[in-house]
Amino acid sequence: MSGFTKQGPRNDTPYTPTAGVGRRRAGDLSWYQRRQLTGVLCVLPAALFITLFFFIPLVLAFWMSLYRWPLLGIHKFIGVANYVAAFHDSTFLHAAGFTAEYTLIITPILLIVGLILALLVKGSRRGTGFFRTVYFLPVPIGFASASFLWVWLVQPDVGPFGRILQMMHLVAQPPQWLAATASALFVVIAMVTWKTSGMQMILLMSGMQAIPTELEEAARVDGAGRWQVFFHITLPLLRPTLALVLVFSVAGSLLAFDQFYIITGGGPSNSTITAVYWIYHTSFVTFQLGYGSALSILLMLVLAAVSFVQLRLIHRSTEF
Amino acid sequence: MKIGITKLVDLRQAMPALAWWVVCSALAALFIFPIYLMVMQSVKPLDEAVAIPPTLFPHQFSLESFLALSGENGSINIVHHILNSLYVAIAAVVGTVVVSTLGGYGFARLPFPGRNTLFFAMLTTFMIPFQAIITPLYLVLRTIGIENTLLGLALVYITFELPFGLFLMRNSFATIPAELEEAAFLDGCSPLSALPRVMLPLALPGVVTTALFTFFASWNEFFAALILITDQDKLTLPVTLSILQTGQFGTLNWGILEAGVVVSAIPCIIIYLLLQRYYVSGLLSGALK
């Protein structure tokens, strides 16, 4: 740290080599070239990681999707047969449909709960900081841990949730939550809402605090009511943040795996198998790696399309 | 008057202060209740943990559930799996911090031809879910000869935390005033030696945030760990819990499973409470910039 003082000689234009800098080198490289070289060397490790463990597997995924590729044994080129098979695979089609259904149900729930929490805890009055912290508390817990918690909570005989409903005389017998598709889905949605709405809250809250208060004031002066201001001023101006929260929620839901694998196990009778769950099953339970890759590519395309549409939404909504 | 107007859309203004406290406290109870039940379940004696109907608080305090995870009589040795998780998480944190600090510095401060294109290419990895490339990733690890190892898993985690880390560190370095860097150069620092001496101390909040996010992500990750690690010996905590859930070692005891969940979840909660500031600001800078 010794060489650094704020009072050091100043230079008007950034990055201009001076006599002071130039004296340090005797080699052939100019100061600029040396800085360029350092830049390349600095980003090299990152580039290597991403090439080796991201771009190569990505290319490999396309390639494998054109083959019949068992874990052991001979790979056979079969063209687009895997893709054709995907559209005749009733479990996959059901899984894709179920994933879409799950996404469509949970996204508005998370948005609304996040919005309500954000409205409750924004500002700086006494207590808001505490409640923010509490609502955010489940966010750092992993999806797997949270799922292992909730799968116990909803057990029919030893689980406390059924018992509490019973004690409140809301049910005669503790319900068999995981025995029916709708109630199993309800449990997963409750768990995910509990675990992630704090995250939505924080994002939406900071979006709200970025809205210039003059706009709301002006509307109020013009005679708008409290809820009119919310629906006609705040909500439209919150669109960039809403779009962002939407992207998070939709991408996360389309990739759902942990919560269904752990809580429902895909049951009852495979009705809660998600797209990623089926890819996992295809690739690592029945070891059809080529077919699994084809399904992965399809998932990637869907996700890219959805993200693209949503990013357009963000882009357009920032031009107000 | 002015304060009243600026806080129009504040729900608190729409309800009396008492109602606000009641609503917020009730919600807080809902958020905390599952965590409370989890901790209580883990400190019940084993027979009380599976009692029907269940007790909502321990009638008797006991650490039997935790002791059942000590590895005796061929049971799961939770300490071993904690160490596996710690190894992977710390390796991933160190790797991600070093690689994304260097990369972020390069991308923010050291122009070279093709820099922006390369940065953009790395950010595209945000768009593609790693779940979709897990199969070929497994084959790549097998080709290198590190399939089914904690090192391989850590390298995978580093790769998937890198886009966020690079993004965050690039922003951290980009906001440092150019004068400070120039002063360092004039004082005789090379571009590389300016990093630890001048730039890094100023970008420290970014480093903490990157480290924190990588730790949480790696400690909690389930999908890749489930697929890439096949030796029970090498399992990380979340996948170990799934072994407990299947009741592979005698019948499933919900007290033991929840003790395992406590071991995996409570550290995250404590770290979050201690470093909340970095966590939330990182979330916002990562998301909103």
Tell me what ipTM this predicted complex has: 0.90
The answer to whether residues B44 and B185 belong to one domain is no
B183 near A4, Cβ under 8 Å? Answer: yes
Mutation target vs B (from A48, A103, A149; most B CBs, 10 A cutoff): A149
C-alpha distances in Å from residue A284, one per residue of B134, B138, B229:
10, 10, 12
Q: What chain A residue is nearest to B25 in terms of C-alpha separation?
A: A131
The answer to whether residues A306 and A192 belong to one domain is yes
**Quick one: tokens of B177?**
């005033």
Q: What sign has the CA pseudo-torsion A189, A195, A198, A203?
A: negative
Residue at B94 is within a domain: yes
The answer to whether residues A38 and A106 belong to one domain is no
B63 near A165, Cβ under 8 Å? Answer: no
Q: What chain A residue is nearest to B158 in terms of C-alpha separation?
A: A49
Distance CA B165, CA A50 (A): 13
User: Of the residues A64, A97, A121, which one is the last residue of a structural domain?
Assistant: A64
Three-state SS at A288: strand
Q: What chain A residue is nearest to B49 in terms of C-alpha separation?
A: A158
The answer to whether residues A92 and A53 belong to one domain is no
**Quick one: tokens of B79?**
């300490």
Alpha helix (H) residue ranges in B59-125: 64-67, 78-109, 115-123
The answer to whether residues B157 and B90 belong to one domain is yes
Residues A53, B198: C-beta atoms closer than 8 Å: no
Q: Which domain holds residue A117?
A: 82-317
Q: Is B286 touching A (CB cutoff 8 A)?
A: no
Q: Is B33 touching A (CB cutoff 8 A)?
A: no
The answer to whether residues A214 and A301 belong to one domain is yes
Q: How far is A75 from chain B (nearest CA, A)?
A: 14
Q: Using a CB-CB distance cutoff of 8 angstroms, which residues of chain A are in contact with residue B269? A: 137, 140-141
Which residues in chain B (124-183) have CB-CB distances under 8 A to chain A? 125, 127-137, 139-140, 155-156, 158-159, 162-163, 166, 178-180, 182-183
Residues A134, B238: C-beta atoms closer than 8 Å: no
Q: How far is A111 from chain B (nearest CA, A)?
A: 16
The answer to whether residues B128 and B248 belong to one domain is yes
Mutation target vs B (from A134, A222, A259; most B CBs, 10 A cutoff): A134
Instruction: Compute the CA torsion angle B138, A250, A144, A263 (nearest 10 deg).
Output: -110
Nearest to A201 by CA among A127, A139, A287, A124: A139
A49 near B159, Cβ under 8 Å? Answer: yes
Strands (E) located in chain A: 67-68, 76-77
CATH number at residue A280: 1.10.3720.10
The answer to whether residues B130 and B194 belong to one domain is yes
Q: Which domain holds residue B235?
A: 77-288
Q: How many CB pairs lie under 8 A apart between chains A and B?
A: 343
The answer to whether residues A121 and A51 belong to one domain is no
**Quick one: tokens of A71?**
């874990």
Distance CA B244, CA A262 (A): 12
The answer to whether residues B84 and B63 belong to one domain is no
ω into B34 cis (within 30 of 0):
no
The total domain count for chain B is 2
Distance CA A316, CA B128 (A): 23
Q: What chain A residue is nearest to B254 in terms of C-alpha separation?
A: A152
Q: What chain B residue is nearest to A4 in terms of C-alpha separation?
A: B184
Spell B175-198 as b/e; 16+ CB within 10 A means b.
ebeeeebbbbbbbebbbbebbebb
The answer to whether residues A132 and A244 belong to one domain is yes
Burial of A306 (0-12, 13-18, 19+ CB in 10 A): middle
Residues A56, B136: C-beta atoms closer than 8 Å: yes
Residue at B49 is within a domain: yes
The answer to whether residues B36 and B147 belong to one domain is no
Each residue's pLDDT, cut to its tens digit, for chain A (320 residues) gives 333 333 434 444 444 444 444 444 455 678 888 889 999 999 999 999 999 999 999 999 999 999 998 888 888 999 899 999 999 999 999 999 999 999 999 999 999 999 999 999 987 788 899 999 999 999 999 999 999 999 999 998 889 999 999 989 888 888 899 999 999 999 999 999 999 999 999 999 988 888 888 887 888 888 888 788 888 888 888 888 888 888 889 989 999 999 999 999 998 989 999 999 999 999 999 999 999 999 999 999 998 888 788 777 766 655 44
Residue at A12 is within a domain: no
Q: How far is A129 from chain B (nearest CA, A)?
A: 11
Residues B216, A140: C-beta atoms closer than 8 Å: yes
Q: Using a CB-CB distance cutoff of 8 angstroms, which residues of chain B are in contact with residue A300? A: 128-129, 132
Q: Using a CB-CB distance cutoff of 8 angstroms, which residues of chain A are in contact with residue B268? A: 140-142, 145
The answer to whether residues B103 and B175 belong to one domain is yes
Burial of A222 (0-12, 13-18, 19+ CB in 10 A): exposed
Residue at B223 is within a domain: yes
Of A35, A216, A255, the CB nearest to B131: A255
Which residues lie closer than 8 Å to A155 by C-beta, 6 or more apart? A162, B254
The answer to whether residues A176 and A117 belong to one domain is yes
The answer to whether residues B266 and B132 belong to one domain is yes
Distance CA A194, CA B34 (A): 9
Q: How far is B83 from chain A (nearest CA, A)?
A: 17
Q: What per-residue confidence (pLDDT) applies to A30?
A: 84
Residues A3, B155: C-beta atoms closer than 8 Å: no
Low-confidence residues of chain B: pLDDT under 50: 1-8, 289
Which contacts (CB < 8 Å, 24+ apart) does range A136-139 have?
Answer: A136/A198, A136/A199, A136/A201, A136/A202, A136/B272, A136/B280, A137/A198, A137/B31, A137/B32, A137/B35, A137/B269, A137/B272, A138/A194, A138/A195, A138/A196, A138/A198, A138/B31, A138/B34, A138/B35, A139/A195, A139/A196, A139/A198, A139/A199, A139/B272
Q: Using a CB-CB distance cutoff of 8 angstroms, which residues of chain B are in contact with residue A117? A: 27
Residue at B72 is within a domain: no
Q: What sign has the CA pseudo-torsion A8, A14, A18, A24?
A: positive
Q: How far is A206 from chain B (nearest CA, A)?
A: 8
ω into B53 cis (within 30 of 0):
yes
Q: Using a CB-CB distance cutoff of 8 angstroms, which residues of chain A are in contact with residue B271? A: 140
The answer to whether residues A155 and A275 belong to one domain is yes
The answer to whether residues B161 and B44 belong to one domain is no
The answer to whether residues B84 and B37 belong to one domain is no
The answer to whether residues B108 and B196 belong to one domain is yes
A158 near B254, Cβ under 8 Å? Answer: yes
Residue at B154 is within a domain: yes
The total domain count for chain A is 2
**Quick one: tokens of B155?**
């390298």
The answer to whether residues A113 and A207 belong to one domain is yes
Q: Is B213 touching A (CB cutoff 8 A)?
A: no
Strand partners of residue A77: A67
Which residues in chain B (57-96) have CB-CB distances under 8 A to chain A? none
The answer to whether residues B37 and B118 belong to one domain is no
Q: Using a CB-CB distance cutoff of 8 angstroms, which residues of chain B are in contact with residue A127? A: 21, 24
The answer to whether residues A160 and A30 belong to one domain is no
